[in-house]
Structure 1
Amino acid sequence: MTDFLPMTKEDMAKRGWEQLDFLFISGDAYVDHPSFGPAIICRLLEKYGYKVGIIAQPDWRSTSDFKRLGKPRLGILVSAGNLDSMLNKFTAAKKYRSTDNYSPGGQAGLRPDRATIVYCNRIREIWKHTPLIIGGIEASLRRFAHYDYWSDSVRRSILIDSRADLLIYGMGESQIKELAAQLSNGMNITDIRDIPGTCYPTESIEHLWDYIETPSYQDVTANKVQFAEAFKTQYLEQDAIRGKTIAQGHGEHYVVQNPPAMPLSTADMDEIYDLPYQRTYHPSYIAAGGVPAIQEVKFSIVSHRGCYGSCSFCALYAHQGRMIQSRSQESILREAAQIVQLPDFKGYIHDVGGPTANFRQPACEQQADRGTCRGKQCLFPNACKSLNTSHHDYLELLRAIRQIPGIKKVFVRSGLRYDYLLAANDMGFLRELCEHHVSGQLKVAPEHISPKVTNLMGKSGKNTYLKFKKAYEQINIDLGKKQYLVPYFMSSHPGAGLKEAIELAEFLRDTSYRPEQVQDFIPTPGSLSTCMYYTEIHPLTGEKVYVAKNHHDKRLQRALLQYRDPKNYNLVYEALSKAGRQDLIGYEPKCLIRPPRNKQPITSVSNGESLNKSRRSNSSRNQKTKKKARFNDY
């Protein structure tokens, strides 16, 4: 087809359809691009002959909008969208976000809280017995009993609360093809229990064999040690080759997870990305100004999936998996040629990569036969001796893309693992990256520099970052280029207290770096760090972990990372005083801030106002003197 998928009855009529095979309900606006999960799933079903329609961002306040395309023949697919709906709506401080990049015009409020559950319960009001399947990252990462940051509670599996028949976790292409085939052949949804990469509810687990039963929802709600134990099992069994079936009780029901789906082959990946996407948002959104999220990906190319970096705060291991799944260079070059033909293309490919840009191949040959190493990581605490560190294929790919007529520049903007690059011990790749593929700034993510924190994050330490920074800067000097390294840092991650935040602030002082943005740690469902945040236990080791949970404590850490900002003065003063680091308050070069001008102790700065009031009360100075004095204070 050379058109968008149906969103109205009129669209169906144009195709000569009276009834859909599958109805897809999405929490995002409809963007027909391979960076959007609903588009991939629907286009793949279309290729295999199924009639698919999309209802994007339905009005959940009644059932009428869900009936727009009629009752489908085989089933209803529900996804909250490209992000967890709570993360999409709320900040780390649990405040409403003012915009939603996945909605027309960036308008916020077009989806409900916990969208998957709300949509499914509306559907059950209309069609009680139609097969109902949930998927996407919200369903994927909430498939077991899980900690929910926004309610500060342990919630049941989303499969139970949504009353769905089946949950697809992971990326979902192989699962949906198999599920569609079985439904089309007349199988009852309640009998479909053997598809890898799916979870199902059941009243009994007597039919299972070679499985692990984790502590139940009731157990993990009552006991944090049990929560950590359940998470540990779920984490360690997340492998398509060696992983076992997992069951978790939920009252009178169980949630059963089949082992993950096998990694996609290169041919499978090519098939997915060669589908006839329109590569933009649906025309019905033009009047609203389009869908902002397309801007980040419209001229970017996904070269692979999966990540064996295993950062503790990232749940990709539970969604895309640790095994790399790569497209062929031919498929990628075909997509690049398509992008060149887009009417608004200016000659710049914004990115070529995946979760980690320079992971283009499996970590090692052994993974194909025995899966990933249980309880071990490929890069942390040190690079495994079996790790394949060659960047040759990725470099060849970048060279080939930049040779395509009409392409002026090819940039690399997705995450780059500099510890992996250093492990390759080949500065030729870094030199070519700096020469051809950096757009003035290279963004990397050391996240923190305190060993206590980076060890809990599963990240390389300060010295590795400094080694890379030195190499990057020297190469740019050699090339005669003024290009900068932009490191991202995270505040309030488990393990980080005031001591560690001050350690990071001193590092920023010593490296003369002023971060414009600092990401507060958000305990999103499914990650190792979230388990640590909730339980204050490292689930893999059993060690106790300090966690900053109080909102004001988090503000103190964040302020320390931006200690030069005058707005943060009160918070920084309080943090340094609490930590007993008054040595950093003064006029010496190593000090972070100057003493308060009135030389009176700040008794309470929780609202950030007391010191400012003190200054405003000093009315003897004229306005010019005030401005000069305030500048000199910081």
Structure 2
Amino acid sequence: MFLPTTRKEIKSLGWNRPDVILVTGDTYIDSPHIGVAVIGKYLLKHGFRTAIIAQPSTDDAEDITRLGEPALFWGVTAGSVDSMVANYTPTLKRRRQDDYTPGGVNTRPNRATIAYTNLIRKHFKNTRPIVLGGIEASLRRIAHYDYWKNKVRRSVLFDAKADIIAYGMAEKTVLELARSLRDGTDWQSLRGICYIANTPGENHILLPSFETVSSDRQAFLDMTKLFNKSVENTSDGLSQKHGDRFLIQSPPHPPLSSAELDEIYDMRFERDAHPYYKTGEIRALETIRQSVTTHRGCFGQCSFCAIAVHQGRSVVSRSMESVTEEVVRIRDLPGFNGIIHDVGGPTANMYGTACRKGWACKTKHCLMPRPCPNLSFGHRKQMELLGNIRNLPGIRKVFVSSGIRHDMVVADTKSGKKYVRALADHHVSGQIKLAPEHSVDEVLALMNKPSVKPLMQFRAMFENACAESGKRYFMTYYIMAAHPGCTLNHMQRLRTFLSEELKHIPKQVQIFTPTPSTVSTTMYYCETDMAGKKLFCEKGLKGAQKQKDSLKRDEKGKGRKGPGRHR
């Protein structure tokens, strides 16, 4: 069933009113790939009447008031993407397309978390607690650099005038919060939340204050280091002064177990847009309708990526039985065409990978400067899983489209080559996606990405596997321009590498966007590396575009001739 989104649906369920109303910046797609749907279904599964208002108009009261007021709390999320990233290109041009909106027309408000909270407070005076969640709130939970205003902003909890942030993936946090608010118990002792208090938390790590990090870039650098250490430190809370009050961040929940992850993904989803909102094509729906998430978290810790901060640095994998049963449910949907478009996660081949040290590891440098010997690779398990799915009746094709961490494949001397052959034989839809991002060592080091050596080794493995299987596939590469420390000269050296070594003219080139709470954003704002050493940062929009354009085709459609390797 869909979660109710109209008064009529609420009455048909026999509810007087919802316990929880979730407000989201995306349209309502009932899918395990959509955070607000997962939270809503999880609450419903545990006995809480939950409804959804998707993409409410901020110009009037009609949308936000149609379900009345919840009995326990409002949940507010900007959606699957930070609203400022959804609304603007890296060069600050307004995006016209929104993949999570029917018809694709971008109507999402800027800083949607704040906009929706203000909308609720405008039309419901002295209302129930407002709880912020999702990636926008999670990554803006402490003082953070905001690229779009070019300044340090307060925690979004202060700017939105909300009551609580449930940070991270937050299923357990939100469920415990709902129980606490229902039972009238002390919710401030819960894990995984932020709130505002008059004094710092007892035994908390004290971050430099908002006022200090706004004016002192070394203090901002120190704050980032302390914050990153807390991401999976389940014993320490954080406190940060904002004016005469404190942001309190309780310690995070430990990562979910495989059984707990199975419980979430075993819930029944419609894998479609709610009929109330199905008023036009929703591009994201076509991507995720016939795809399966196999795990959460990432060992990679790329400097520009938010996955570690939001999902965690540990990888938690679902059981093969749970994944296979979900594929069966997809297969049995009306109109299924026999194709599973993706079996993966943040990085597809991290499924089944585990650390032998686990929480005992103090460094957590899992893949850099090379894959840690304490990693137990999961390629054999993923091959078994893919084989199980491939052999199900009614399944014609099973693709891996999430992207591959190539250095892990090369480091897996037991199963790496077999894994690549399995991909070439069965699981590539025409091209395989890698994300080297760059080729110049000093830039790669700042990105916390591996050198090009494992890339070239993987490329040779893949080409050999294609030759053996008689298939002709292509490799595509995600490339980044204007990352902190990257100059036009570095991009010219990258162009030479792509042209001469990979024989490739990239189509997937993105300009670095400083998103809140990542290491790369701290380097961009502070104009230093994380050790405090001065760093070139391209902050001009024209300069950033010029870096990207240096990799373009010429007018005849051929790649520009590289200038040679020089400094």
TM-score (norm: length of structure 1)? 0.86
How do 1:238-257 and structure 2 match up within 5 A?
Answer: 238-241=231-234, 244-257=236-249
Corresponding residue to 1:471 among 453, 456, 461 = 461
Corresponding residue to 1:449 among 439, 442, 445 = 439
State how far apart, in whole Å, the 1-side matches of 2:195 and 2:375 are: 36
Check conservation: 2:477, 2:508, Cα contact below 8 A.
no
Corresponding residue to 1:345 among 325, 336, 340 = 336
State how far apart, in whole Å, the 1-side matches of 2:45 and 2:375 are: 37
How do 1:549-568 and structure 2 match up within 5 A?
Answer: 549-565=539-555
| Alpha-carbon distance change, 519 to 87 in structure 1, aligned in 2, over 3 angstroms | same
Aligned match of 2:157? 159
Displacement, 1:313? 0.7
State how far apart, in whole Å, the 2-side matches of 1:568 and 1:432 are: 33
State how far apart, in whole Å, the 2-side matches of 1:568 and 1:25 are: 48
1:324 aligns with 2:315: yes
Corresponding residue to 2:374 among 370, 386, 392 = 386
Question: Tell me, what secondary structure is at the counterpart of 1:199?
Answer: strand
State how far apart, in whole Å, the 2-side matches of 1:344 and 1:554 are: 45
Aligned match of 2:197? 202
Question: Tell me, what secondary structure is at the counterpart of 1:284?
Answer: coil
Check conservation: 1:285, 1:291, Cα contact below 8 A.
no
State how far apart, in whole Å, the 2-side matches of 1:235 and 1:21 are: 34
Check conservation: 1:142, 1:157, Cα contact below 8 A.
yes
Q: In the TM superposition, what whole-angstrom CA distance separates every residue of 1:501-532 from its partner, at most 9, and x where no partner exists?
A: 11101112203211123111111112111111
Aligned match of 1:93? 91
Aligned match of 1:624? none
Identity of aligned residues (%): 41
State how far apart, in whole Å, the 2-side matches of 1:584 and 1:349 are: 40
Question: Tell me, what secondary structure is at the counterpart of 2:548?
Answer: helix
State how far apart, in whole Å, the 2-side matches of 1:328 and 1:78 are: 31
Check conservation: 1:323, 1:362, Cα contact below 8 A.
no
How do 1:411-490 and structure 2 match up within 5 A?
Answer: 411-425=399-413, 426-490=416-480
Aligned match of 2:393? 405
Displacement, 1:64? 4.0
Corresponding residue to 2:220 among 224, 227, 245 = 227
Check conservation: 2:353, 2:377, Cα contact below 8 A.
no
Question: Tell me, what secondary structure is at the counterpart of 1:256?
Answer: strand
Higher radius of gyration, 1 or 2: 1
State how far apart, in whole Å, the 2-side matches of 1:175 and 1:538 are: 34
Number of residue-to-residue matches in the alignment? 562
State how far apart, in whole Å, the 1-side matches of 2:130 and 2:549 are: 46
Question: Tell me, what secondary structure is at the counterpart of 1:96?
Answer: coil
How do 1:521-560 and structure 2 match up within 5 A?
Answer: 521-539=512-530, 541-560=531-550
Displacement, 1:390? 4.0
State how far apart, in whole Å, the 2-side matches of 1:240 and 1:483 are: 43
Larger CA deviation: 338-347 vs 56-65: 56-65
1:24 aligns with 2:22: yes
Corresponding residue to 1:282 among 245, 254, 274 = 274
Corresponding residue to 1:377 among 348, 359, 365 = 365
Question: Tell me, what secondary structure is at the counterpart of 1:561?
Answer: coil
Aligned match of 1:122? 119
Check conservation: 2:303, 2:448, Cα contact below 8 A.
yes
Aligned match of 2:48? 50
State how far apart, in whole Å, the 1-side matches of 2:39 and 2:56 are: 19
Q: In the TM superposition, what whole-angstrom CA distance separates every residue of 1:507-558 from its partner, at most 9, and x where no partner exists?
A: 122032111231111111121111111111223x222221111111112211
State how far apart, in whole Å, the 2-side matches of 1:145 and 1:389 are: 37
1:258 aligns with 2:250: yes
| Alpha-carbon distance change, 248 to 282 in structure 1, aligned in 2, over 3 angstroms | same
Displacement, 1:262? 1.1
Displacement, 1:289? 2.1
Corresponding residue to 2:284 among 287, 290, 293 = 293
Letter aligned with residue 536 of structure 1: E
| Alpha-carbon distance change, 362 to 183 in structure 1, aligned in 2, over 3 angstroms | farther
Check conservation: 1:441, 1:484, Cα contact below 8 A.
yes
Letter aligned with residue 499 of structure 1: N
State how far apart, in whole Å, the 2-side matches of 1:448 and 1:334 are: 39
Runs of 4+ in 1 over 6 A off after TM superposition: 566-569
1:215 aligns with 2:208: yes
